[in-house]
Amino acid sequence: MTEPRLTVALTFDHDAISDGVRRGDSPVKLSHAEFGPRVGVPRILDVLAREGIESTWFVPGHSLVTFPDNTAAILAGGHELAAHGWYHEDFSELSRDEARDVLARSRDALATAAGAAPSGFRAPYWALAPGTLALVEEAGFGYDSSLMAGDVRPYRVRHGDRHSVVDGTTWGAEGTLIEVPVYWALDDWPHFEPGPGRSGLATPSAVLEIWTEELRWAWEHEPGGLVTLTMHPECIGRAHRMVVLERFIAAARSLDGVEFARLDRALEARGLLSR
Ligand SMILES: [Zn+2]
């Protein structure tokens, strides 16, 4: 098989109502999140099936067990299940024991659902404590997708970096965990959903332009690269945003040698992950 010029990984964070349950959100906020499992997930899976695309789903344990029809449909579509906390916890606020417990419980539930241990983890809110990724590696995960020190080249995570305003920075050692970098501009949420300090509700064409220019740059200048998008069913699943997803897929299809792949398979093909 010839090497693809560029790989595109479509990734979906299936948060649903997991964090709303943990925070005790109001019925309206919970319903905003419930749009994901009710409408967004089936819509997205239909498009992916039509296009013959396999993708990666970061699924909190609560979403996994609360929406079993979604879980079954994701698995039936040949997609990858990866970990994303249980109640979409903020790992920067958890003790080490709490973090260990959430990682183990979510890993085991995903393994039971999928019939194989998950390879991937993405921190909810992309929020980590300094030692969290060492615990992720210890829990047996092969890759993380929460950091930003790169774009299209996965890299090895360092553990134990020490930063001091007196003594400067001492870098830790690389472990086995691979990082698949993320970035806000390549995430649907900051563009489209209101939040602290931003109105959200971006014009879809503006987001499509950012995503396709990232794609084109990588295709021209970063052969062998891996472009990763982060999306949320309750966000991208809205009709005018599904158009962005469809057009982005069409833009990728219009370039020679672009393949779509699940993150685990993209990393296996690069010799960065073994099972
Ligand atoms: Zn999330």
CA of 166 to the centre of ligand 1 (A): 36
- What is the 3-class SS of 23-64, one letter each residue? HCCCHHHHHHHHHHHHHHHHHHHHHHHHHCCCCEEEECHHHH
Which residues have CB atoms below 5 A from the ion given as ligand 1? 13, 15, 124
pLDDT at 243: 97
φ/ψ of residue 16, rounded to 5: 45, -130
CA of 220 to the centre of ligand 1 (A): 31
pLDDT at 1: 54
Residue ranges for the chain with pLDDT beneath 70: 1, 275
CA of 256 to the centre of ligand 1 (A): 32
CA of 189 to the centre of ligand 1 (A): 10
CA of 140 to the centre of ligand 1 (A): 21
CA of 177 to the centre of ligand 1 (A): 20
CA of 209 to the centre of ligand 1 (A): 24
pLDDT digits (tens, 9 = 90+) for 210-225: 999 999 999 999 999 9
The pTM (predicted TM-score) of the whole model is 0.96
CA of 230 to the centre of ligand 1 (A): 10
Can you tell me whether residue 108 is helix, strand or coil?
A: helix
- Answer whether 131's CB lies under 8 Å from 94's CB: no
What token pair was written down for 244? Answer: 């962005």
Residue 80 DSSP class: E
Of 153, 146, 262, 152, give the one whose Cα is nearest residue 215: 152
CA of 259 to the centre of ligand 1 (A): 25
pLDDT at 195: 83
**Rounded (10°) CA dihedral 214, 83, 177, 165:** 80
CA angle 113, 114, 119 (to 5 degrees): 120
pLDDT at 3: 83
pLDDT at 197: 81
pLDDT digits (tens, 9 = 90+) for 218-251: 999 999 999 999 999 999 999 999 999 999 999 9
pLDDT at 200: 78
CA of 221 to the centre of ligand 1 (A): 31
CA of 3 to the centre of ligand 1 (A): 32
